[in-house]
C-alpha cells in the first residue's frame, strides 16, 4: 500500500549507511518498463560506454546484472514502488543473483524472495 512512508524510511537508511556501501542503486520497480530503464541507468553509472554500445534493452539489463553479480564490495539496491506483485510476477529476473555482500530490498512485504 502506497503512502505509508516506506520509501522515505529506505531513503533515510541509504543516507545513513552510504559509507558502508560502495554502490547504492535506487530503481523504480512499479512496472517492467520502469524497472528496465532503472537497471539500464545503473549500467550507465557503472560503465556508460559498454552499456550504450549494446544493441537492445535486454542486453543492457543482462550486462548490468552480470556486472553487479561480479561486484566485490558491498552494494545496496532498492526496488521502490513494488506495490503489486501480481502485476509484475517476473521481477526476480531483475535481481542480481549470488551477491553475498549485497542487500536487496523491495518496498512490499508480499515479494517473498526479497
78-97 pLDDT, tens digit per residue, is 888 877 767 777 878 888 88
Q: Domain limits of the chain?
A: 6-106
Cα–Cα distance for residue pair 76/18, rounded to 1 Å: 9
Query: Rounded mean pLDDT of 18-29?
Result: 89
Give the β-pairing of 102-106 and 75-80: parallel
| pTM greater than the 0.85 cutoff | no
* pLDDT in the model for residue 105: 52
Q: Is 91 helix (H, G, I), strand (E, B) or coil?
A: helix
Phi/psi at 103 (5° precision): -125, 120
Q: For residue 81, count other CB atoms closer than 10 A to its CB.
A: 19
Give residue 47's pLDDT band: very low, low, confident or very high (50, 70, 90). Answer: very high
Residue 17 is inside which H or E element, if any? Answer: helix 6-17
Q: Is 80 helix (H, G, I), strand (E, B) or coil?
A: strand
Give residue 7's pLDDT band: very low, low, confident or very high (50, 70, 90). Answer: confident
Amino acid at each position: 500500500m502506497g503512502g505509508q512512508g516506506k520509501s522515505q524510511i529506505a531513503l533515510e537508511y541509504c543516507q545513513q549507511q552510504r559509507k558502508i556501501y560502495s554502490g547504492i542503486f535506487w530503481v523504480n520497480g512499479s512496472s517492467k518498463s520502469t524497472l528496465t530503464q532503472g537497471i539500464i541507468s545503473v549500467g550507465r553509472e557503472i560503465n556508460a560506454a559498454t552499456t550504450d554500445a549494446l544493441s537492445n534493452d535486454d542486453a543492457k539489463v543482462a550486462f548490468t546484472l552480470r556486472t553487479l553479480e561480479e561486484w566485490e564490495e558491498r552494494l545496496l539496491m532498492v526496488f521502490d514502488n513494488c506495490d503489486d506483485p501480481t502485476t509484475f510476477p517476473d521481477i526476480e529476473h531483475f535481481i542480481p543473483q549470488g551477491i553475498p555482500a549485497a542487500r536487496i530490498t523491495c518496498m512490499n512485504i508480499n515479494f517473498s524472495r526479497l
